Structure 1
Amino acid sequence: MSWRDFWNGEHAIYVSPRHKALHYRQIATDLTGHIPAPDSVVLDHGCGEALDAGRVASRCGKLYLCEAAPSVREKLRAMLGGRENVAVVAPEEVEALPEATLDLVVANSLIQYLSREELVALLATWRSKLKPGGKLVVADIIPPDVSPLTDASQLLGFAWRGGFLMAALAGLIRTAFSDYRKLRAQYGLSTYRIDEIAGLITAAGFEDVTPAKNFGHNPHRLTLVGRKAGDLGQRLPV
């Protein structure tokens, strides 16, 4: 099983329907805060089930929702089929978009599932699809010193505030015996120091790369924001 297989099948990452709904509500709120204008063309790359994508779509001119898992794409199309300004796409369809199409690219809770080589390739794709000065937001980056115990404590705090604490406690026990735990042990999750990930983003042709408030409920993870720079040829590789 790969990470794509995991997300394409049934899983229990969200401990209850309320957890899932509150999670996606918060992500939509965080994402809309980065939309530069009402007519912006936005790509949410690795969007997951994006339960509140309708609210994001109402704040921009065009919304591309990119998801690698076919079953999730089908759910998104069923949920958002009536929205003319929403397109649900696979990763290869992002690569096929015309250059300089997008005003904003958001990748939330994505790069931990990618190798360094995959990330470097994806950064190049995002840069090519952004308009000059377009904005990139890479969110929920895991630093090397953030442990699963820290993630668990943040989930429990979110659950306490959101009213699903008992479900969260039961969910943490299920996760300990789940495919997610096995995959994490087998493949690991990619982690980055802030200077390391900022260097990769800068080397890919982005400038003004700065930290921002993280998406979601975990402040121990990182979000970085950058803008497409003008001359990639003058930039040195990391």
Structure 2
Amino acid sequence: MNDWIDYYDSTHTIYASKLHRDLHFAGLARDIISYIPSPDAVVLDYSCGEALSAAKVAEACGMLILAEPAPGVRGRLIARFAPNTKIRVRALEELRNMPEGSIDLVVMNSVAQYMKPEELDVAFAVIRRLLRPNGRLVLGDILRPEVGMPRDVLALLMFASKHGFLRDALVGLVKTALSDYRELRTKVGLQRYSEKDMLTKLTKAGFNPVRAPKNIGHNRWRTTFVARLALGGS
């Protein structure tokens, strides 16, 4: 396994149980819906993953575009949501061919940590071109330099305790420690950004960013940023 796309395209152990997985995606859907500006908005979920609750998000907007780099995941998305006329599935490469200024909201959640800084810059350029003048980018689940894996473990255990899958979470942590995830995390690593660094990066990419009051998802030690196009952006 060479990179994170391969990992998420495989049969991985990132979720402790079906309940964990379902609660995770349901929570993400609620958070994403809170950012949708209107019922007719066009929403892009950039590197969406399995997006199991995408139908809920689609109910709250005019069109939902699920963009996913992993071919196996993308195939499952196409099969799962084929009957839903409000959902479209795209490869990341296809976003370059979409009309300029055609998206009201772009959500990139729990993605930046898996991208090299220069890859993230390229993604920001694509997103900037796609956003309408009054559109927004929501960049969620950013890892902070001063917060390590123990806080991620604690966040999971707190979430599991609250929702009744603590035992599964403990078993899942052991499985993850013995899986390709730990090897990849050591070999490839994860990108971390301080609030100042990410605000600077987004500003250089042509956005006016602010830190959101709370993170998307259950991990309160990670951060979310909301960015609009800077004056003169398009």
TM-score by structure 1 length?
A: 0.95
Deviation at 1:194, TM superposition (A): 0.4
Contact 2:65 2:90 in 1 (8 A): yes
Tell me the percent identity.
45
Compute the displacement of 1:208 (Å).
4.5
Matched, 1:126 2:124: no
8 Å CA contact 2:211–2:223 kept in 1: the answer is: no
In structure 2, the residue matched to 1:141 is 142
One-letter code aligned to 1:110: V
**Cα distance in structure 2, aligned partners of 1:187 and 1:111:** 14
Give the partner amino acid of 2:17. S
Question: Is the counterpart of residue 101 in structure 1 residue 102 in structure 2?
Answer: yes
**TM-score normalized by structure 2?**
0.97
Contact 2:195 2:211 in 1 (8 A): no
The CA deviation string for residues 144-187 of structure 1, in whole angstroms up to 9 with x for no partner, is: 01111110011001001111111000011111111011000001
Distance in 1 between residues matched to 2:145 and 2:209, nearest whole Å: 23
Aligned to 2:44: 43
For 2:86 and 2:53, the matched residues in 1 are separated by: 15
Q: Give, in angstroms, the shift of residue 46 of structure 1.
A: 1.3
SS at match of 2:212: strand
Letter in 2 for 1:58: E
Letter in 2 for 1:120: D
The 3 A distance-change label for structure 1 pair 143 and 208 is closer
Map 1:6-155; keep pairs closer than 5 Å: 6-155=7-156
Q: CA RMSD in A?
A: 1.1
Residue type at the aligned position of 1:96: N
1-structure distance, mates of 2:79, 2:60: 21
What amino acid sits opposite 1:51 in the alignment?
A: L
1:236 aligned partner:
none
Gaps of 5+ in 2: none
1:37 aligned counterpart, secondary structure: coil
Q: Does the Cα contact within 8 Å between 1:151 and 1:218 map onto a contact in 2?
A: yes
Task: Give the deviation of 1:231 after TM superposition.
Answer: 1.8
CA-CA distance at 1:192 after TM superposition: 0.2
CA contact (8 A) 2:105 2:135 kept: yes
Where does structure 1 lack aligned partners over 5 or more consecutive residues? 234-238
CA distance in 1, matches of 2:49, 2:15: 12
Alpha-carbon distance between aligned partners in 2 of 1:58 and 1:191, rounded to the nearest angstrom: 33
